[in-house]
Amino acid sequence: MSDVVTYNREGAIGVITVNYPPVNALSHAVRTGIQGAIQQGRDDADAKALLIVCDGRTFIAGADIREFGKPMQEPGLPEVVNFIEATDKPVVAAIHGTALGGGLEVALGCHYRVAVPSAKVGLPEVKLGLLPGAGGTQRLPRLTGAQKALEMITSGEFVAAKDAAQLGIVDELADNDDVKAAGLAFAQKVVDEGKPVRRVSEQNDKLEAEKGSDVFDKFREGLKKKARGLLAPFKCTDAVEAAFTSASFEEGMKRERELFGDLMDSDQRAGLIHAFFAEREVSKVPGLPKDTPVREIKTVGVIGAGTMGGGIAMNFANAGIPVTIAEVKQEALDKGLSIIRKNYEATAKKGRITPEQVEERMSLIDGTLTYDDFKDKDLVIEAVFESMDLKKKIFSELDEKCKPGAILASNTSTLDIDEIASATKRPEDVIGLHFFSPANVMKLLEIVRGEKTSDEVKATGMALAKKIKKVGVLVGNCNGFVGNRMLHKRGAEAMALVDHGASPQQVDKVLTDFGFPMGQFAMGDLAGIDIGHSIREERRKAGEDVPPSWMDKLVEKGRLGQKTMAGTYKYEEGNRKPIPDPEVDQIIADFRKEQGIEPREISDQEILERCMYVMVNEGAKILDEGIADRSLDIDITWIYGYGFPAYRGGPMFWADQIGLDKILDAVKKYHKEVGGKQWEPSPLLEKLVAENKKFGDL
Ligand code: T1G
C-alpha cells in the first residue's frame, strides 16, 4: 500500500484516495499507487463500483513536471489510464479544484465523471510545449467532437465545471463543493441503476460523424497567426486528427505517443518548463525569510493621473483596493479618470468584465489635488515624469504628510531609488515599484530595493505583486534596474547597426522572427521616441558627451512615433501597423554621410548576435553586481516585461542553451570590432565558461 494513494471500501464503493500535496501531481509514487489501488478494487468482490477522489486543494493537476527530463519510471501514465479504463466494474472520478493535464486524462479513463460547481478542467500541456500524452488527444474528441477538442487542447485554457458538463466531459454537476460526498452519491447511483462500464475509447460516434472533414486544415490555418513560431499547437492538432484517421484507438494512441516524444525532446518544452518553474521561484527571494512580516495594504495613493498613474491605479481597483489619484490640476485629474473609465468600458465591450464591475471598480477610484488626503494611506506610489528634482520634492512632502509605517514607492524606470529615499526621514519605507506600460496589462512588476529598504517593505512589495496579479521580481538599484538596463544596451546596438548599414525594418524583423512581439524600433514608436530624445538632451545639457543620432533628426521633424502617425515608421489612420518610410531611409542616409559613415551590408545573424548577446553580457554583469539574485529573475523580467518568447526560457536560459563559450567568443569578437563598455566581456561570463558552467548552475 502506498502512502500517497489509499484504498478503502465505503459500503459498496471502493474509494481510492490520492493525497500528494500540493496538487496531487502524478509522480511515480502516485501512478504506482493508483494502479495498485485499482487492482485492489478489482479484487474486492464487495466493491460494486470504484471512486477516485483526491484530498487537499485539487483533483490531480497533471503529470509531475519535476520528473520531466528524467528517465521515465514504469508504470507510465498512459498505461495507468488504460488500466483504469479496462476495469470491469464502473469507475467514477470526483473532481474538485483543477483537473488538469494528466489529471483530466485519468478522469477520462474513468467510466463516469462528477464535478463540484467550483471545479475546472483543462489540458494545458501546450503551455509547457507538450501535448496531452496519456490519451487526452484521443479520448476528449470522442466526447466533444473535433472543434472543441482542438480549441481546448491547443489553447490549454481551463473550462468551468458547468461548461464541461455541457460539453459532455463531465456527466454530473454536484449541488455543492463536498467532492467526496458527491463522488460517493454518484457512484452509488451508478450501482443502484445498474449503469454499465462505459469506456470513452470505445465511443466512436463523434469520430464517425466528422471523418474526412476539413476541420483540421481550417484549424491549422487559424493557428498560423496565433501560434507563430510554436511547435506544440501544431503537434496537438496532428494528434487530435489521428483520432479521426487511425484505424483503432490503439493506433491513435501510438501516434499520440510519437508526437508527444517529438515535443518532449524539443528546446521549446525545456524553455516553457523553465519559465513555468521560474515564475514560481521568483517569488521566493534568497535571503528574505519566508515568515518576514508583511504590512497590510488596505488603501493606496497614486501621484499622477497620466498613462502610468492611471494604469497603476486600475491594478488596485481591480484587486478591490480603494485608490486615490492626486494631480496638480483638476482638468488633468478629470482627464485621467475619464481615460480609466474608457479603458474599463472597452474591456467590458470585449465581455471580459461586466458593466457592474466597471462601476464597482470606478467607485474604488477617487481623485484629489492635495497630498493631505494621503495621510491614512498604507502605500503611496509616485508616477510623475522622470525628473529627480521633482521626485525628491514629492517624497519629502509625502514624508511629512503620510502616517508612520506608510510605504512610499516610486514608479521610476531608471532613477536612483536611494537618492529619492534620501529626501525622506524613512528610507527603510521607500521602495521602487516599476510597472510596465500599459501598467494595467503588463504582468511584470520590478520591485526595486534601496540600500536601506527594510525586509518587511520588500516582503510587502512581493506580496502586493501577487495581490494585484503581477509577477513581482525583486531587483537591485542601478540605472535601468534589470529590464531597462538590458533594453538600453539592445537599443544602442540596434541604433549602431542602422548607423552602419542595416535598416530599422531589417533589425525589427530579426527580433520578431526571434519571437518578440515587436521589434526595437516599433516598440520605440509605441512608447514615443521623444522620451529617449529628451533623456539624451538632458544628458547633453548636463555636459555628457552624447553622440548625435538620426533619431534626434526624426524628433526635430515632429516625428514622435505612433502618437504623431510617424516616427521611425509611418502609420495609417486607425492602424498601428508600422510601415517603412522612404523619408526616414533618406534621413538615415544623410546622417551617415554627415558622420562620414560608409554603410555596409549587415547580415541578420550579426544583427541577432549583437542585439541578443549584448543583453546576455549585460545580464551577466547584473548578476555579478548582485542587482539580480538569480538568472531566473532576469529570465522572468524579460518574459513578462518585454515579451521575450517564453518557449526560449528567457535570455539567460536561452544563452545556456546556445552555449556560453559560443557567446563569449562572439562578445570578444564584437569587443574588437565595435568596441565600447557594453562589449567588455563580463568577468562572470568568462568565469562560467572557464569552469564549463551555465547561468542556471549559479
Ligand atoms: N507538477 C509538479 N508541481 C506542480 C505542478 C505539476 N504539474 N503544478 C503545480 N505544481 C507546484 C508548483 O510548482 C508550486 O510548488 C505548487 O504546486 C503550487 O502551484 C501526461 C504530460 C495547478 C493551476 O500544466 O497550472 O500532465 O512553489 O503556485 O497558482 O498529458 O500550478 O509550492 O513548491 O502554481 O494555485 C499538466 C500546471 C502537466 C498544470 C495551481 N498540468 N500547474 O496554481 O499554485 S503535463 C499543468 C498549474 C501533463 C500529461 C502531461 C498550477 C495550478 P511550490 P502554484 P496555483
Higher pLDDT, 596 or 2: 596
Residue 106 cell numbers, joined: 485519468
128 lines ligand 1 (CB under 6 A): yes
Of the candidates 484, 422, 478, the residue with the CA atom closest to the CA atom of residue 453: 422
Domain-embedded: residue 86: yes
Q: What is the pLDDT of residue 68?
A: 84
465 and 535 together in one domain? no
The response to whether residue 101 sits with its C-beta less than 6 Å from ligand 1 reads: yes
Q: How confident is the model at residue 1 (pLDDT cuts 50, 70, 90)?
A: low
Report pLDDT digits (tens) over 388-444. 999 999 999 999 999 999 999 999 988 899 999 999 999 999 999 999 988 999 999
CATH number at residue 433: 3.40.50.720
Give 586's contacts (C-beta < 8 A, 6+ positions apart): none
| 163 inside domain | yes
Q: What is the CB neighbour count within 10 angstroms for residue 634?
A: 32
- Mean residue pLDDT across the chain: 95
551 in contact with ligand 1, CB cutoff 6 A: no
Does the CB atom of residue 97 touch ligand 1 within 6 A? no
Do 455 and 505 fall within a single domain? no
Q: Which of 462, 458, 518, 509 is nearest to 487 (CA)?
A: 518
What is the amino acid identity at position 690?
A: A
Say if residue 330 is in the same domain as residue 449.
Answer: yes
Question: Does the residue 278 lie in any domain?
Answer: no
With respect to residue 377, please indicate whether it lies within any of the assigned structural domains.
Answer: yes
Average pLDDT over residues 214-233: 93
User: What pLDDT does 591 receive?
Assistant: 96
Q: Which atom of ligand 1 is nearest to the CA of 57?
A: 35
Residues 345 and 205 in one domain: no
* Domain co-membership, 12 together with 146: yes
Exposure pattern of 191-230 as b/e (b: 16+ CB <10 Å)? Answer: beeebebebbbeeeebbeebeeeebbeebbeebeeebeeb
With b for 16 or more beta-carbon neighbours within 10 A and e for fewer, the 244-269 pattern comes to bebeebeebbebbeebbeebbebebb
- What is the atom index within ligand 1 of the atom nearest the CA of 280? 27
Ligand 1, from 4, 20, 23, 269: best to mutate by most atoms within 8 Å of Cβ?
A: 23
Give yes or no for a contact between 339 and 290, defined as CB atoms under 8 angstroms apart: no
Interval 436-482: pLDDT, tens: 988 999 999 999 999 999 999 999 999 999 999 999 999 999 999 99
The answer to whether residues 234 and 122 belong to one domain is yes
CA 281 to ligand 1 center in whole angstroms: 13
User: For residue 49, what is the domain's CATH number?
Assistant: 3.90.226.10
- Residue 133 beta carbon below 6 angstroms from any ligand 1 atom: yes
Among the listed residues 421, 435, 323, the one whose alpha carbon sits nearest the alpha carbon of residue 379: 323
Place of cell 548576435: 609
The stretch 643-651 carries a mean pLDDT of 96
Q: How far apart are CA 694 and CA 620, in angstroms?
A: 11
Q: Which residue has the cell 485519468?
A: 106
What local confidence, expressed as pLDDT, does residue 536 receive? 84
Q: What percent of the chain has pLDDT over 90?
A: 90
The answer to whether residues 30 and 59 touch, using CB atoms and an 8 Å cutoff, is: no
Residue 216 corresponds to which cell in the numbers above?
483540421
The CB of 65 under 6 Å from ligand 1? The reply is: yes
Percent of the chain residues topping a pLDDT of 70: 100
In this structure, the answer to whether residues 465 and 318 fall within a common structural domain is yes
Q: pLDDT for 174-213, tens place per residue?
A: 999 999 999 999 999 999 999 999 999 999 999 988 888 8
- State which ligand 1 atom lies nearest to the alpha carbon of 133: 30
Residue 665's pLDDT is: 98
Q: Judge contact between 529 and 558, C-beta under 8 A.
A: no
pLDDT tens digits for range 288-307:
999 999 999 999 999 999 88
Q: Which pLDDT score is estimated for 211?
A: 83
Nearest of 531, 440, 520 to residue 486 by alpha carbon: 520
Say whether both 188 and 136 belong to one domain. Answer: yes
**Which H helix or E strand runs over 368?**
strand 365-368
482-503 pLDDT, tens per residue?
999 999 999 999 999 999 999 9
**CA 571 centroid distance within chain:** 29
Domain that holds residue 218: 5-264
Nearest CA to ligand 1 atom 51: 61
Instruction: Indicate if ligand 1 lies below 6 Å from the C-beta of 134.
Output: yes
Residue with the three cell numbers 500500500: 1
Q: Give the residue-averaged pLDDT of 131-139.
A: 98
Cα 61 to middle of ligand 1, angstroms: 6
What confidence tens digit (pLDDT) does each residue in 306-327 have? Answer: 889 999 999 999 999 999 999 9
d(CA 60, CA 26): 7
Q: Establish if 288 belongs to a structural domain.
A: no
Q: Domain check: are 476 and 516 in the same one?
A: no
Q: 271 in a domain, yes or no? A: no
* Displacement of CA 144 from its chain's centroid (Å): 29
Does residue 578 have its Cβ closer than 6 Å to ligand 1? no
> Is the pLDDT assigned to residue 32 strictly greater than 70?
yes
- Which pLDDT score is estimated for 252? 97
pLDDT above 80 (res 538): no
- The answer on 522 and 391 residing in a single domain is no
Residue 156 resides in a domain: yes
| Average pLDDT score over residue span 252-265 | 96
Given 264, 287, 322, the domain boundary residue is 264
Name the one residue in this structure whose C-alpha cell is 474513468: 110
Residues 316, 245, single domain; the answer is no
**Any atom of ligand 1 within 6 Å of the Cβ of 105:** yes
The catalytic residues are 105, 125
Assess whether 510 and 394 both reside in one domain. Answer: no
Q: Can you tell me whether residue 283 is helix, strand or coil?
A: coil
CB 526 within 8 A of CB 518: yes
588 part of a folded domain? no
The model carries a pTM of 0.91
State the DSSP H helix or E strand holding residue 10, giving kind and residue range, or none if neither: strand 5-10
276 Cα to the center of ligand 1, angstroms: 9
CA 469–ligand 1 middle distance (angstroms): 17
Amino acid identity of residue 29, one-letter, is: A
Of 264, 280, 310, the one marking the end of a domain is 264
| Separation CA 234–CA 154 (nearest Å) | 8
Q: Which atom of ligand 1 is closest in space to residue 68's alpha carbon? A: 21
Q: What is the CATH number for 682?
A: 1.10.1040.50
Distance from the alpha carbon of residue 23 to the mean position of ligand 1, in angstroms: 7
Q: Which of 246, 264, 282 is the last residue of a domain?
A: 264
- Split into its structural domains, the chain has a count of 3
Mutation test residue for ligand 1: of 152, 280, 285, the one with most atoms within 8 Å of CB: 280
Q: How far is the CA of 558 from the centre of ligand 1 (A)?
A: 50
Going by alpha carbons, the residue nearest to atom 52 of ligand 1 is: 61
Q: Is the pLDDT of residue 152 over 80?
A: yes
Question: Ligand 1 in contact with 66 (CB < 6 A)?
Answer: yes
